[in-house]
Amino acid sequence: MLRKWGRSIVASPPRILVLGFAAIILSGAGLLMLPFSHVQEETPRFIDTLFTATSATCVTGLVVVDTGTYWTTAGQLIIIAMIQIGGLGFMTMATLFALMLKRRISLRERLVLQEAFNQTSIEGIIRLVRKVVVYALSIELAGAILFSIRFMFDMPAGKAIYKGVFHAVSFFNNAGFDTMGNYRSLTDYVGDPLVNIVTMLLIILGGLGFVVLSDLVEIRKPGRKLSLHSKVVLSMSGFLILFGAVIIFIFEYTNTNTFASLPFGEKVLAAFTQSVSPRTAGVNSVDLAGLRQSTQFFIVILMFIGASPGSTGGGIKTTTFTALIGAMIAMIRGKEDVVLFRYRLAQERVYKALTITLFAFGLVMIASMILSTTEDHRFLMILFEVTSAFGTVGLSIGLTAKLTLAGKIIIILMMFIGRLGPLTLSYALGPRKGRVLYRHAEGKIIIG
């Protein structure tokens, strides 16, 4: 009986993903408590190491202690290892090692990979894993080289290379962790074109999703065309980046706390950086606490939408948002079908987009209400923090370091749910769905 119950707990791919991420987080939290991981002599509190490990594994970037000054080099290497595993997915890393050892990948493992990458079938899933690793390491290497060259003008070569590698891995995986010290992020490089452009490219490439990257690489082959998924991701991502930059530029142009003192070119660069970053990266080149409230709320919206499926980012995803916009337009025009790029979306996809959005919105609202009780701060600051955690963004306007114990636990849960996805978690914890043998009679209610 117990053996059967134990098998049922870990039988489904969603449950394996939940347990796998939880194991990595607990292991990382334990390693960060060891003396070689932290600068101070006293052992850090477990809640703080758990918060850091969750933030790293869930590629978020929210921190309760400063990464650059609190953790030793060994501690920072543990953090960056968790970021890499969390960004690519622990099943991707496990599959990579299995392939290196020439071990056969079982059907169950393929099903878990299918769940991890949000694929509709297991066909070609191992080829996708190989591509994921090659693309990720290649992009991170290129980013590390460019960062290292730039940082060598400001610091010794060894330190520059270390920071270059750390930030390339962190930014590509949309984690937002930095080692600049004193929570500065990239504020010292607000007007630096190379640092900002490389950062934005790493974030964008990490947030598009590996399926889209594969499509872009193979588009040069004869007869290959972009899939509908890639077209939707690229068009919506481009729109959100451009639209976000324009809105932030307008709202902050005369703000003396952020853009007012910057030359015009640096204003444009900062606006684009802050438009790209809320797509789950957690990097800031200006003081976010100094932003106008209208800008902060707009960033909350961008964080809620997030990156794209199968990527290193979180949020409800660009495809979900596109499906909802398409459904709204179809309803306004009196059409039955949601049509994107001359393709009709199945009704099931629209229902799933609606379910994910309402589920996510409910989680963010409930967590915000709870934190409004446990934390004595402005509601917008609380909403910003909760949305940042759910979207695995990592941007903060100053609340994270001031969180109470209850507040830290809530944010930890939001980061965990945001990384796995609310539907994956609900499937993992909920009962298995059986076959429906009947349908209820159709009824009508008045809508609107």
Residue 4 has pLDDT above 60, yes or no: no
198-202, 265-269, 375-379, 431-435: range with lowest mean pLDDT: 431-435
156 CB burial (10 A radius; 0-12, 13-18, 19+): exposed
249-253, 349-353, 443-447: range with lowest mean pLDDT: 443-447
Higher pLDDT, 393 or 106: 393
440 CB burial (10 A radius; 0-12, 13-18, 19+): exposed
Q: pLDDT digit string (tens) for 113-167? A: 666 666 666 666 777 777 778 888 899 999 999 999 999 998 899 999 999 999 9
Number of neighbours of residue 28 by Cβ within 10 angstroms: 24
CB distance 195 to 171 below 8 Å: no
Distance of alpha carbon 316 from alpha carbon 282, whole angstroms = 16
Q: Please, which residues have CB within 8 angstroms of residue 171's CB and are 6 or more apart in sequence?
A: 143, 199, 202, 203, 206, 281, 283
- Work out the pLDDT band at 435, boundaries 50, 70, 90: low
Short-list 85, 119, 72, CA closest to 309: 119
Residue 325 has pLDDT above 90, yes or no: yes
Predicted TM-score (pTM) of the model is: 0.87
- Work out the pLDDT band at 94, boundaries 50, 70, 90: low
Number of neighbours of residue 1 by Cβ within 10 angstroms: 5
What are the two backbone dihedrals, phi and then psi, of residue 394, each rounded to the nearest 5 degrees?
A: 100, 0
**Most confident region among 140-144, 306-310, 330-334 by mean pLDDT:** 140-144
Residue 407 has pLDDT above 70, yes or no: yes
Distance of alpha carbon 192 from alpha carbon 204, whole angstroms = 18
Higher pLDDT, 224 or 437: 224
- Work out the pLDDT band at 10, boundaries 50, 70, 90: very low
CB distance 13 to 122 below 8 Å: no
- Map residue 356 onto helix, strand or coil: helix
Number of neighbours of residue 225 by Cβ within 10 angstroms: 9
Residue 179 has pLDDT above 70, yes or no: yes
Residue 112 has pLDDT above 70, yes or no: no
Q: Where exactly are the structural domains of the chain?
A: 9-428
Residue 41 has pLDDT above 60, yes or no: yes
The pLDDT > 70 percentage for the chain reads 84
Distance of alpha carbon 152 from alpha carbon 150, whole angstroms = 5
Q: pLDDT digit string (tens) for 44-79? A: 999 999 999 999 998 888 899 888 889 999 999 999
HEC assignment per residue over 86-148: HHHCHHHHHHHHHHHCCCCCCHHHHHHHHHHCCCCCCCCHHHHHHHHHHHHHHHHHHHHHHHH
Residue 423 has pLDDT above 70, yes or no: no
- Work out the pLDDT band at 303, boundaries 50, 70, 90: very high
The pLDDT value recorded for residue 424 is 64
- The mean predicted confidence, pLDDT, of the chain is 84
Distance of alpha carbon 94 from alpha carbon 112, whole angstroms = 11
